[in-house]
Structure 1
Amino acid sequence: MSSGTDERLAVINRKNALRLLPLMLAGYVLNNIDKSNVGVAALAMNRDLGFTPSIFGFGAGIFFITYTLFQVPSNLGLERFGSRRWLGGILIAWGLGACATAATVGPKSFYMLRLLLGVAEAGWYPGLLFFMCCWFPKAFRARAFTWVALGVPISAAIGFPVGGALLELPTVFGLVNWQWLFIIEGLPSVLVGVLSLIWLRDGPHEAYWLTSPQREELADALEGERAVEDTRHLSVWSTLWHPLVPFFCLVHFLYAMNVFGVFMWIPRLVKDLGGLTYAQVGMVSAMPFLCAAVAVFLCGRSSDRWEDRKWHISGMLLIGAAGTLGVALSTDAVYKILFLCIAVAGVSGQANVLYAFATEVFGNISPTSKILAIRLGILVMSGGVGGFLAPYLVGLVLERFGNFSYALCSASAMLFLTSLLMALASRRFLGLDGPSPVSAVELSQWRS
């Protein structure tokens, strides 16, 4: 690609980033707040409703059953009906579902409402990844993902303090503090969903803020990155032919086991340090995610600068493993918070690079946009499986042993294994030195 083309695409990328990324960031922040605010609400809800750690852990995790099962169907809907209507509709649906969680009266209703919330949220994040693949060429994608990935630490930095403050509210109109938390934090998703229906467009061909030559150049650049141009039918099951799909799913599963197994319990872990009000627990719980925001930004920039994905992912996961082990072994409250900052920064810092890497690889081996959407859905499904198992297992361990040490040691081991998997994957296997060895086989089977 010529320097002139690079400069023109950079201008186009900046226009698209200013137009699209703020709303995408807002949606991702709300997605994570509505997904994890149950961890803050649990500080009061568990006491009021008599939930044990295992009941809460199962309810927190059961969300991911429907969230996982509906990933691929939801992404097929996005590919069929368009990003604007589908992503906006999902935002509105999950905002209403998050508000409805305030109606929890016992374990059964808690499980049912969490299942329904999983249906509502399913498909939004892989849909977001697919949407960004339709707008940003590979050379700009990691930087775009970096800004969106800031949604994870920003959501925690906002959600934990706000959630803690909401738990200080008195009973109003017959609703107690944790019920108001679900309602107040769910309504903004509905608003952003309505804005998405108005603001978003499905692809570069509808980008009225670009000139006609800019729209054509961006469309040509995105189309030119396709490794295969034939568009004949490819069955859904054939999406798993390529071993890079299960490889990235395994990496994502192990990563998600740590994220949802540890992050969702952070307010409880901080509360166990003793002597803190709900508002103070929220403030302290947000500190690790402020560190994570810096790590996300620096890791994304460094990954682009050095044109490396593999070692940035592996290295940050190793830092996360060390920090998580430090939390498990330290007894001093200050050191626990310090190691927690290191753990969250390490795990969160590489997430945008991992997703950028996965979309690049899947884009190279996906013959059609439909198959790319399905593969991204499968990737997020793998994280959903980890999201279901991890909170429940941590709850069982906490109920059995009375502290988080065993669960944290297990999480550290998983992070170390994930780092090792990425480090040992050869450049040839990852397609960094040309096509992956099985790409030609996959293409031959597909064309036949």
Structure 2
Amino acid sequence: MTPTSATTGSEIAIDSHIEARAVKKAAWRFIPLLALAYFFNYLDRTSVGFASLTMNQDLGLTATQFGWGAGIMFAGYCVFEVPSNLALYRFGARRWIARIMITWGLMAAATALATGPTSFYIIRLLLGIGEAGFFPGVIFFLAVWFPARYRTRVLAWFTVSTPLSSLVGGPLSTWLLRMDGVLGLAGWKWMFIIEGLPACVLGFLVLRMLADTPADAKWLLPEERGALQKAFEREGAASGKKKDFRVALKDPRVYLLAMISFGFTMGSYGIGIWLPQMLKAHGMSVMETGWLAALPYFFATIGLLWWAKHVDRNGRRVANLAVALAIGAIALGVSTYFKTLTPAMVGITLALIGTISARTIFFTLPARFLSGQAAAGGLALINSIGALGGFAGPYLVGYLKDSFGTFTAGMLGLAIVLAITTLLTLSLFALIRDE
């Protein structure tokens, strides 16, 4: 080894150590706060399933009307997703994410003002508009801050809020329903108020704690900021990523990823929104429903963290995504053959492990070929189309429930959707290098 090569190796080792130190600082500063924000984000989306245990009768909602109302928030979400993320790119993630959180918190709490189907639809639509851009905005923000080799684990610790919100949200929501009559308000009204307003408080914390780029972070040492900048420069030079949003609009990979996102979102929300009512149909009390509905998400949390660590160590993101979706499809399909609760719950648990893990693996893929404005807009476009699955899944299950008088048809329909999504994922092998 020549002196020059030895020096170079030593410099690389030092840069790597400084980069790891900077990543650790950023992770401890951002991830707990953003994960807590996403916890309430997902809780405010899905707690409507627990509210339905008493709210539907108060508002006179049929299964189809509830499915429509539970899903219509995604219409507003999808329409405003891309403009919201382009605004985030222009004004900065710190300000825009804070704005999103304060707006959605107010709208989530305002669901307590619903008096019938129409007002329920309107408030849910406004909730979707208010929170549009949050998830892809955070994904874009994390891609700006964390080099690729850390990204799957970082995304996992952020998205672990999805199963955790359902794990905690079930017992919490059903406990809040027991506040029925306090100060003259129904329990479901208290649930929306108490679970919605914390997002507003977190929004102000986001405004204080986040920095749009490493260059803006005064709490990093100069050499730490430099190490992160070098890491992103190396990645950009090696990848040839697209940076212009107009170019991303012409990339077929963006639309294929959007269709895949639509499929697994349809599956996870179709299960999650209706799970409380499926359990109640087995004669359980409201409190028993809350605790049992949380159980699949306990295992989904463990599965998500294990799978993310496995992918970061071994790569093969497309292959792992396909396996996760195949598990979801097969497990959910098999669960429909069982009339007793225990084996059906095993199938639903495996299906949720698959679909929730798939979401984390999936959102590491767009950053492999998009950056800058293209990443901000492309992520939003993928997520906005995918988020329509959050409308289609609950509505499909509600429609099939009214048509056939059973949840079995709805779960089987979701299993078919996940199977098609698995096939779409396999086509990615021809378009994205699976590393």
Which amino acid in 2 is paired with 1:398? Answer: K
- Give the structure-1-normalised TM-score: 0.91
CA contact (8 A) 2:82 2:380 kept: yes
Aligned positions, number: 423
1:256 equivalent in structure 2: 265
Structure number with higher helix proportion: 2
CA contact (8 A) 2:174 2:286 kept: yes
1:444 equivalent in structure 2: none
Match of 2:315, SS state, is coil
What does 1:303-342 correspond to in 2, within 5 Å? 303-342=311-350
2: CA distance, partners of 1:216 / 1:388:
44
Structure 1 residue 4, shift from structure 2 partner = 3.9
Structure 1 residue 228, shift from structure 2 partner = 4.5
1:436 equivalent in structure 2: none
CA contact (8 A) 1:72 1:378 kept: yes
How much identity, in percent, do the aligned residues show?
34
Could you tell me which of 117, 132, 155 is aligned with 1:145? 155
More off after superposition, 404-413 vs 129-138: 404-413
Structure 1 residue 360, shift from structure 2 partner = 2.4
Give 4+ residue runs of structure 1 displaced > 6 Å after superposition.
none
Q: Check if 1:267 corresponds to 2:276.
A: yes
More off after superposition, 416-425 vs 140-149: 416-425
Which amino acid in 1 is paired with 2:277? Answer: R
Which amino acid in 2 is paired with 1:415? Answer: L
CA contact (8 A) 1:96 1:186 kept: yes
Q: Check if 1:409 corresponds to 2:418.
A: no
Structure 1 residue 21, shift from structure 2 partner = 0.5
2:255 equivalent in structure 1: 246
Structure 1 residue 240, shift from structure 2 partner = 2.1
Match of 2:47, SS state, is helix
Which amino acid in 1 is paired with 2:286? Answer: Y
Structure 1 residue 170, shift from structure 2 partner = 2.7
Q: Which runs of 5+ in 1 are unaligned?
A: 364-368, 434-448
Q: Check if 1:100 corresponds to 2:110.
A: yes
After superposition, give the CA deviation of every residue in 1:193-244 in whole Å (9 maximum; x if it has no partner). 111111111110122221101101212222332244897xx4x543221121
More off after superposition, 237-246 vs 206-215: 237-246
2: CA distance, partners of 1:170 / 1:385:
33
Q: Which runs of 5+ in 2 are unaligned?
A: 1-8
Which amino acid in 2 is paired with 1:13? Answer: V
More off after superposition, 330-339 vs 17-26: 330-339
CA contact (8 A) 1:168 1:278 kept: no
2: CA distance, partners of 1:44 / 1:229:
50
1: CA distance, partners of 2:426 / 2:87:
36
1:200 equivalent in structure 2: 210
1:389 equivalent in structure 2: 392
Could you tell me which of 357, 369, 382 is aligned with 2:365? 357
Which amino acid in 2 is paired with 1:149? Answer: T
Provide the aligned C-alpha RMSD in A.
1.6
After superposition, give the CA deviation of every residue in 1:159-214 in whole Å (9 maximum; x if it has no partner). 11100111122312221000000001001111111111111111101222211011
CA contact (8 A) 2:242 2:248 kept: no
1:134 equivalent in structure 2: 144
CA contact (8 A) 2:317 2:434 kept: no
Structure 1 residue 432, shift from structure 2 partner = 4.1
2: CA distance, partners of 1:383 / 1:303:
22
1:292 equivalent in structure 2: 300
Structure 1 residue 420, shift from structure 2 partner = 2.4
Match of 2:181, SS state, is coil
2: CA distance, partners of 1:332 / 1:422:
33
Q: Check if 1:54 corresponds to 2:57.
A: no
Which amino acid in 2 is paired with 1:418? Answer: T
1:162 equivalent in structure 2: 172
1: CA distance, partners of 2:359 / 2:303:
10
CA contact (8 A) 1:66 1:116 kept: yes
2: CA distance, partners of 1:393 / 1:135:
38
2: CA distance, partners of 1:196 / 1:342:
34
CA contact (8 A) 2:93 2:141 kept: yes
2: CA distance, partners of 1:7 / 1:424:
38
Q: Check if 1:6 corresponds to 2:16.
A: yes
Match of 2:211, SS state, is coil
1: CA distance, partners of 2:121 / 2:180:
26
Structure 1 residue 425, shift from structure 2 partner = 3.0
Q: Check if 1:124 corresponds to 2:134.
A: yes
What does 1:29-44 correspond to in 2, within 5 Å? 29-44=39-54
Which amino acid in 2 is paired with 1:303? Answer: V
> CA 1:269–1:126 in 2, change beyond 3 Å: closer, same or farther?
same
CA contact (8 A) 1:129 1:359 kept: no
After superposition, give the CA deviation of every residue in 1:243-298 in whole Å (9 maximum; x if it has no partner). 21111111111111112222111111111111x22111110000000010001001
Structure 1 residue 313, shift from structure 2 partner = 0.8
Which amino acid in 2 is paired with 1:423? Answer: L
2: CA distance, partners of 1:212 / 1:5:
12
Match of 1:417, SS state, is helix
Could you tell me which of 427, 431, 434 is aligned with 2:433? 431
Which amino acid in 1 is paired with 2:115? Answer: V
- Give the structure-2-normalised TM-score: 0.94
